[in-house]
């Protein structure tokens, strides 16, 4: 698989310009046959001292199987088994652990793995196979202790590949994965030599040719001891050895490989050729990442060059995935893995909780996520047109503003990228356990620990258990007769499959809520015929969207401006909350805007009437869209308001007896927001099941703590959803509350903290009393249960909830 990345941003361009010319002026002239190898080594080490070093990583000299090198270990506890062996570049003649410290320390920080950077023997003093022998010895010693991933740049990348071939042929356990940075995988120079790319900042063909001969023959390559024709003839044979030029060998049966290179380097074509050769040899798990306008091993400039950091973070994800595939982290029932905190869910609230723990210097935590990537709602909801329905400046954390939003209402992929970048910037990748489904959690009163079991059989023991799954994680399929018999292609908006084609086909969409309003316009643009099945019309207001330009993004990088924009939109959204109360100016304005939008965009009075909601504004979630009504007004789109009777193998039958044939059926029917955590068996004190405690509906104190469940916390729990503003404004104070509770347990050397049942009862009685007389009680919606109890929404304004939750009232808790 080939992937291309294009760096952008003015800071990136300025830094790249400076670095490129620094290399051209200070390094490339020295990497030349005119200078001795000894001088090149000293010069490279001197230049490497100006590199920005990674904080939070310990460095110490070490030796593995007689091979000297340096260990790089991230501060904090080890979060998984495994080691990374790094083989530095330098054309087999120069380079050392010292010249690569910035990069190897950054890898150790990004992966959380201990990194051994090997100072393997170099030519001309120690020609081939000395370096390979050192790499083999170090790998075998490390592999005896657990899984190993191997990485190397330039000549180190070629050596990494040669190591994998030698291990395969010897029958040794293979590395879990290989990361090759601009690998020099073939020492054969074509005749005529390839032209040097205009952007090449470091390498030259002449220098590479000299180093190749030094690698094979040592000092005799330049001493004149042997006739040149004889030397060249022998070189032409020996350079074809697969352990010298791995691309010349059998590349089959190798572990997963990640190749990274830049377009402006001499070895760019070689990286592409290696990618193709690995695929042709039958290795399916091969990925080649090409970064445009970047030079040889640009990853060396981590901390200075954003594209270098991004490349290393992508590699860290790859390496951890390979380690976990070979050796899944987690303990057993007999020997559980001990952690201070386990966080369930890697969505917005899970990331915020992790960020809070890191701010307090707490690193002993893991995040369990059932999906293969982080993002929560924004990983699940990847249907066409998915976007947030509040302005993006409010949909980023106060401690991590995002100046790179492309428009005011950000798309789902853009939000997921923000979350991924935040996780990488905070160093959360080592804490993540992806594809890990929790099935049971039991509180042990004797030890004050939670015992957690995963679907794969791993067992963890944690002092604190934080559930950050939120209400929007369990898709709800419609309860319609015959759904399972439908023979066409069936999709749920929260489990979208991009491989299902809709272009030119007959498509049916069940649902007209917020998700459907985003999904329907792109479906209408592709489908030959689109049938939209509506149970109840929804209130639709215009979305005040616009694209952000270069000036917006520049201004957003200035904190005072970014804070002012965020504050403005928070105020606007809070004003919108008044629209849920009868008789307010805000409500009158919202009603007029909804009516004007409907009349302006729907010319057909009959269709307009069918799209007029029969319930008060705000009772259900409001839709903000400029494209929804125009999509429904298109001639090939049908709004069906007759109730659905059943689903057949061919399509949908409505109450009027008509059957509409469909090729693709899309259920935009939202989530099960009532049966929170129903997929996990949670037992608290004295074996109390959470499902039993919530038999009449989920409830919690402040939406955070549940009586009978010590050291257990919810983020975006019952009655914390908001119908008017960003959930992030609720998540941040909830995290502060949880951190304060954890600190109280530690400070008092207690075993557990638990909310008092009376405090939880008082809080929820007040909530339900307020909600009973609100607009949300006047219709059926995902906010409420069948018995009428509203379990999702908080009835007040944001400031009210923040004041209540930010600092715990210790009188409402017991510490044991």
Q: What is the pLDDT of residues 787-809, one digit of tens each?
A: 788 888 899 999 999 999 999 99
Q: What is the pLDDT of residues 41-64, one digit of tens each?
A: 999 999 998 888 899 999 999 999
Task: Name 4's bridge partners.
Answer: 290
Mean pLDDT of 569-587: 93
Instruction: Give the tens place of pLDDT for each residue, 712-735.
Output: 999 999 999 888 899 999 999 999
Reduced to 3 states, what is the DSSP secondary structure of residue 3? strand
Query: Which of 90-94, 201-205, 224-228 bottoms out in mean pLDDT, i.e. has the lowest?
Result: 224-228
Q: Which residue has the higher pLDDT, 554 or 142?
A: 142
Query: What whole-number percentage of the chain has pLDDT above 70?
Result: 98
Q: What is the tens place of the pLDDT at every residue in 513-542?
A: 999 999 999 999 999 999 999 999 999 999
Q: Check residue 672 and give its pLDDT.
A: 65
**Does position 444 have pLDDT exceeding 90, yes or no?**
yes
Q: What is the pLDDT of residue 333?
A: 83
352 CB-contact burial (10 Å; exposed 0-12 / middle 13-18 / buried 19+) = buried
Q: Is the pLDDT of residue 178 over 90?
A: yes
Cβ atoms of 531 and 688 closer than 8 Å: no
Confidence of residue 673 (pLDDT cuts 50, 70, 90): low
- At 473-493, the pLDDT tens digits run 577 888 899 999 999 999 998
Higher pLDDT, 66 or 678: 66
Enumerate the β-bridge partners of residue 384: none
What is the largest distance, in Å, between two alpha-carbon atoms of the chain? 100
Query: End-to-end distance of the chain based on CA atoms, in angstroms?
Result: 55
Q: What is the DSSP letter of 362?
A: -
- The CA distances from residue 137 to 88, 163, 166, 172, 495, in Å, are 16, 10, 12, 12, 47
Q: Rounded mean pLDDT of the chain?
A: 93
With 90 as the cut, is the pLDDT of residue 338 above it?
yes
pLDDT digits 0-9 by tens, 151-162: 999 999 999 999
> Does residue 410 register a pLDDT over 80?
yes
Question: Mean of the pLDDT values across residues 695-702?
Answer: 93
pTM: 0.93
Residue 84: the pLDDT is 98
pLDDT beyond 60 at 578: yes
pLDDT of residue 674 exceeding 60: no
Residue 182: CA count within 13 A, CB half-sphere: 27
Strand, coil or helix: what is 187? coil
Q: Please give the pLDDT value at position 555.
A: 93
Q: Which domains does the chain have, with CATH numbers?
A: 2-326 (3.40.50.1820), 339-474+673-815 (3.50.50.60), 483-538+620-667 (3.50.50.60)
pLDDT of residue 472: 60
**In terms of DSSP H, where are the helices of 387-512?**
412-426
- How far from the centroid of its chain's Cα atoms is residue 216's Cα? 44
Where would I find the H helices in 3-100?
Answer: 10-26, 37-48
| pLDDT value for 192 | 84
**Catalytic positions, written as ranges:** 154
Confidence of residue 72 (pLDDT cuts 50, 70, 90): very high
Residues in CB range of 25: below 8 A, 6 or more apart: none
Give the Cβ contact number of residue 810 at 10 Å: 12
Question: Using omega within 30 degrees of 0 as the cis cutoff, is the peptide bond preceding 698 cis?
Answer: no
What is residue 556's predicted lDDT score, i.e. its pLDDT? 92
* Band of pLDDT at residue 297, cut at 50, 70 and 90: very high
User: For position 232, what pLDDT does the model report?
Assistant: 81
Q: What average pLDDT does the segment 366-389 reach?
A: 93
Q: Is the pLDDT of residue 31 over 80?
A: yes
Q: Is the dihedral of CA 20, 23, 26, 29 positive or negative?
A: negative
* pLDDT value of residue 276: 97
Q: Would you tell me how many other CB atoms lie within 10 Å of the CB of residue 741?
A: 21
653: enclosing H helix or E strand: strand 651-654
């Amino acid at each position: 698989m080939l992937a291309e990345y294009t760096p952008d941003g003015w800071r990136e361009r300025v830094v790249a310009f400076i670095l490129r010319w620094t290399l051209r002026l200070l390094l490339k002239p020295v990497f030349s046959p005119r200078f001795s190898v000894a001088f090149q080594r000293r010069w490279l080490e001197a230049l490497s001292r100006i590199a920005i070093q990674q904080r939070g990583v310990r460095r110490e000299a070490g030796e593995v199987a007689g091979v000297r090198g340096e260990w790089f270990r991230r501060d904090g506890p080890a979060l998984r088994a495994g080691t990374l062996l790094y083989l530095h570049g330098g054309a087999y003649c120069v380079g050392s652990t010292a010249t690569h410290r910035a990069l190897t320390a950054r890898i150790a920080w990004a992966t959380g793995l201990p990194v051994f950077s090997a100072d393997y023997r170099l030519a001309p003093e120690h020609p081939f196979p000395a370096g390979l022998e050192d790499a083999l010895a170090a790998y075998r010693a490390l592999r005896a202790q657990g899984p190993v991933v191997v990485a190397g740049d330039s000549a180190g990348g070629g050596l990494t590949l040669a190591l994998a071939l030698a291990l395969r042929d010897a029958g040794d356990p293979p590395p879990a994965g290989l990361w090759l940075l601009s690998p020099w995988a073939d020492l054969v120079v074509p005749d005529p030599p390839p032209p040097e790319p205009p952007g090449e900042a470091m390498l030259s063909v002449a220098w590479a040719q000299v180093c190749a001969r030094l690698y094979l023959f040592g000092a005799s390559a330049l001493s004149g001891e042997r006739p040149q024709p004889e030397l060249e003839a022998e070189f032409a044979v020996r350079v074809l050895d697969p352990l010298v030029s791995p691309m010349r060998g059998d590349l089959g049966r190798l572990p997963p490989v990640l190749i990274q290179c830049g377009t402006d380097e001499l070895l760019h074509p070689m990286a592409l050729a290696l990618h193709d050769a690995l695929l042709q040899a039958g290795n399916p798990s091969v990925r080649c990442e090409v970064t445009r306008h970047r030079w040889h091993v640009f990853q060396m400039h981590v901390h200075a060059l954003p594209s270098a950091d991004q490349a290393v973070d992508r590699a860290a994800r790859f390496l951890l995935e390979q380690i976990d595939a070979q050796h899944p982290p987690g303990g057993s029932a007999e020997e559980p893995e001990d952690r201070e905190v386990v966080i369930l869910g890697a969505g917005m609230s899970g990331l915020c909780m992790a960020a809070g723990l890191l701010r307090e210097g707490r690193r002993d935590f893991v995040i369990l996520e059932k999906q293969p990537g982080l993002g929560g709602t924004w990983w699940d909801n990847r249907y066409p047109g998915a976007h947030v329905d509040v302005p993006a400046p409010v949909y980023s954390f106060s401690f991590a503003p995002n100046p790179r939003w492309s428009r005011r209402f950000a798309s789902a992929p853009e939000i997921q990228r923000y979350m991924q970048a935040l996780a990488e910037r905070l160093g959360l990748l080592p804490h993540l356990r992806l594809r890990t489904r929790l099935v049971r959690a039991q509180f042990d009163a004797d030890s004050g620990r939670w015992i957690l079991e995963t679907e794969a059989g791993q067992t963890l023991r944690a002092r604190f258990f934080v559930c950050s799954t939120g209400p929007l994680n369990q898709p709800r399929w419609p309860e319609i007769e015959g759904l399972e018999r439908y023979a066409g292609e069936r999709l749920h908006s929260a489990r979208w499959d991009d491989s299902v084609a809709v272009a030119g086909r007959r498509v049916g969409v069940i649902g007209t809520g917020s998700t459907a309003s985003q999904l329907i316009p792109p479906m209408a643009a592709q489908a030959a015929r689109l049938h939209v099945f509506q149970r109840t019309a929804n209130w639709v207001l215009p979305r005040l969207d616009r694209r952000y330009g270069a000036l917006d993004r520049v201004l957003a990088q200035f904190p005072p401006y970014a804070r002012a924009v965020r504050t403005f939109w928070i105020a606007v959204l809070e004003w919108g909350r008044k629209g849920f109360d009868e008789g307010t100016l805000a409500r009158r304005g919202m009603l007029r805007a909804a009516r004007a939008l409907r009349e302006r965009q729907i010319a057909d009075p009959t269709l307009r009437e069918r799209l007029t909601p029969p319930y008060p504004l705000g009772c259900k979630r409001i839709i903000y869209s400029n494209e929804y009504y125009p999509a429904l007004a298109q001639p090939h789109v049908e709004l069906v308001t007759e109730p659905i009777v059943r689903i057949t193998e061919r399509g949908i039958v409505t109450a009027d007896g008509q059957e509409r044939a469909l090729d693709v059926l899309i259920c935009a029917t939202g989530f099960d927001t009532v049966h929170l955590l129903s997929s996990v068996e949670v037992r608290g004190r004295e074996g109390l099941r959470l499902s039993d405690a919530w038999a009449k509906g989920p409830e919690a104190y402040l939406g955070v703590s549940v009586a009978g469940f010590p050291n257990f916390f919810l983020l975006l729990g019952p009655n914390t959803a908001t119908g008017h503003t960003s959930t992030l404004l609720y998540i941040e104070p909830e995290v502060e509350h949880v951190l304060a509770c954890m600190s109280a347990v530690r400070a008092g050397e207690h075993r557990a903290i638990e909310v008092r049942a009376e405090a939880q009862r008082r809080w929820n009685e007040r909530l339900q009393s307020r909600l009973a007389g609100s607009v949300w009680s006047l219709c059926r919606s995902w906010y409420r249960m069948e018995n009428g109890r509203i379990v999702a929404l908080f009835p007040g304004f944001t400031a009210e909830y923040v004041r209540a939750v930010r600092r715990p009232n210790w009188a409402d808790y017991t510490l044991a």
